[in-house]
Amino acid sequence: MGPQTESWQGKVMTVEGLIPAEKMGITLPHEHLVVQEWDYRECNYFNSASMELEQYPAAGGRTLVDLTNMGRDRDPLFIKRLAFKAGIQVIMGTGYYKDAWLPPEVHEMSVEQMTQVMVKEIVEGVADTGIHAGVIGEIGVSRPTTRTEEEMLAASARTQRETGAAINVHFDIGTEAAEYNHAIDILETEGADLDRVALSHLVPRPDNLELYMHLAERGCYIEFDLFGQECWPLIDDLMDTNSEVQISSVKGFIDNGLLGRILISQNVCHILHMTVNGGYGYAHILKNVVPKCKSYGISDEEIHTMMVDNPKNLLPFEF
């Protein structure tokens, strides 16, 4: 921690600047504002994108984490414009996505060089935009994990130690226990605070209970961020889990003591997720999933814990 970041303790960095964690409100911890197969340079994209995003605050949402980072089409200026237009708080990610998505020069970087890039994007801003990243992620992990990805994980831990930011790690659907543990081991060896690490793309299903309890016991947040993905056949096939089963499983995980480790989101990232294309959009959890959760006996207090308290505990800077 340097003099520039001493006052960041307990605050969250949005694309418009620091805010107290208490002002986060309802938070989606894993979304994307530049979606796949939709060129954001088209003249009508901003209007279309803002119309989609505005559904979220209209449903009661306050904060959203955009985990688009290097290797994907991150556009800080575009993200900031969207956040301002929609009237929401957006926390933007830094770091590197999966190996196959990265430009060749990334594979030549050292752990220290990766760390320097991420620290700069958090402390000083991305390129010359003056827009700061506020979270490390989503850090891409493939199957099997590559050398570059192992170095990215090590750099993420070092960046967390220097900046106090939380970490979000992408895992493919179907990842096995040994693969999760390998990535977590790298983070832990490099000094990461596992209590401030979220593991993405976990499928809530009864047969995953033992694995997810193990991951939570290691300190990590369990992120169920695939709600609404049934509109995308590719991901729906990979999940192989009915939406009703997913929601009832969340209730089971809560009953088994995991409430304080659960995050829920939608991972909107493809044009098929847009409501204009028949998808569920950014307000799906608030409009559809929350009422269904209540029908399965999940209380308002438990929903508040998952959507307000847990993100508020994970995302502020902590030194």
Q: What's the domain count of the chain?
A: 1
| Structural domain includes residue 188 | yes
Indicate whether 313 pLDDT > 70.
yes
Indicate whether 114 pLDDT > 60.
yes
Residues in a beta bridge with 197? 167
User: CB-side exposure of 159: number of CA atoms within 13 Å?
Assistant: 34
| Structural domain includes residue 100 | yes
Domain of residue 134 covers: 3-314
Rounded to 10 deg, the angle between the 45-53 and 76-86 helix axes is 50
Smallest CA-to-CA distance from 101 within 133, 143, 69, 144 is with 69
Mean pLDDT throughout 29-42? 77
| Cβ-contact 32, 79 below 8 angstroms | no
| Structural domain includes residue 31 | yes
Quick one: which H or E segment has residue 311?
A: helix 310-314
Indicate whether 40 pLDDT > 90.
no
pTM equals 0.96
| Structural domain includes residue 319 | no
| Structural domain includes residue 48 | yes
**Cα separation of 216 and 248, whole Å?**
19
pLDDT of residue 6: 73
pLDDT of residue 43: 52
CATH code, 242: 3.20.20.140
| Structural domain includes residue 82 | yes
Mean pLDDT throughout 136-160? 98
